[in-house]
A and B are shown apart, each in its own frame.
Chain A
């Protein structure tokens, strides 16, 4: 089955800097890669997703890149703000959705 590894587990950045979270997956049949953000006391919420026919997708300060050959995808957050502090989960969907272990992002002001 699918296995998703996510790094780093914790990331601290200064406000205004960029943050990058990386994930690898094992199932070459996976074709959908969402990213979820979980704020304290809340459930995860989809922030961006990418499908296997696209290499990059942007939404304002957030972007996701996908390298199907390397089975690797990344989340990029530019101009980080304190409200970006949260736990971020990547996931990959082969025959079912499998999540990474999460990255705690702390943005220091």
Chain B
């Protein structure tokens, strides 16, 4: 049984560009959450999706947007990249009925130059 998968593993962008990160949840999971983890810090919650809608959002600007597809996979989009957006982006999925319990993918390392 495959766990949470994310693509790409690494990405390099320049300031002002746009980026899309992808996540596939574990089988049987319908909820996807996204986190940003700066170096040496704990993850910060960006937003959570289930039933193809954004259900909760952390303290992140509108440059961060997302989408959930009917197969429960999800995308995180970041527009107008800033140097400060350089971080590890983690996706987590949760099973139906246990939305609070989150299982993480390996992350995407984004470097903005």
Asked if A and B bind, the verdict is no
